[in-house]
């Protein structure tokens, strides 16, 4: 069974995004894997609004696509850093 099957996604072609959280000392972990773009963006926003992110415990949040390319990045103290056209944006509560 693939990761996509385990996620219970009906259309694996759409389930290609993952949300990763980064903590101090280069520790990182997946927050959510193999979901559609809308779900990934909603989760990344939710993570950026958590007290842990606002306090700097969560240092970085990224969304990767099915090819493991970063398509979104948020950094503590900087807000959104990628894509460039969204640079500096803060999540809206």
Q: How far apart are CA 34 and CA 8, in angstroms?
A: 10
Q: How far apart are CA 23 and CA 35, in angstroms?
A: 22
Burial of 33 (0-12, 13-18, 19+ CB in 10 A): middle
pLDDT of residue 93: 65
For the chain, percent of residues with pLDDT exceeding 70: 83
pLDDT of residue 87 exceeding 70, the answer is yes
Low-confidence winner among 31-40, 46-55, 60-69, 82-91 (lowest mean pLDDT):
82-91
**Half-sphere exposure of 54 toward its Cβ, with a 13 Å CA cutoff?**
9
pLDDT of residue 61: 98
Domain spans of the chain, in order of start = 17-26+64-93
First to last CA, the chain: 37
Q: What is the pLDDT of residues 14-56, one digit of tens each?
A: 679 999 999 999 899 999 999 999 999 999 999 999 999 999 9
């Amino acid at each position: 069974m693939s990761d996509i099957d385990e996620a219970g996604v009906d259309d694996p072609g759409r389930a290609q995004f993952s949300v990763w959280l980064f903590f101090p000392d280069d520790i990182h972990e997946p927050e959510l894997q193999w979901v559609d773009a809308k779900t990934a963006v909603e989760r990344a926003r939710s993570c950026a609004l958590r007290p842990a992110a606002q306090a700097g415990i969560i240092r970085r949040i990224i969304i990767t696509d099915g090819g493991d390319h970063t398509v979104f990045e948020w950094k503590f103290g900087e807000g959104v850093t990628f894509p460039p056209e969204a640079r500096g944006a803060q999540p809206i509560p």
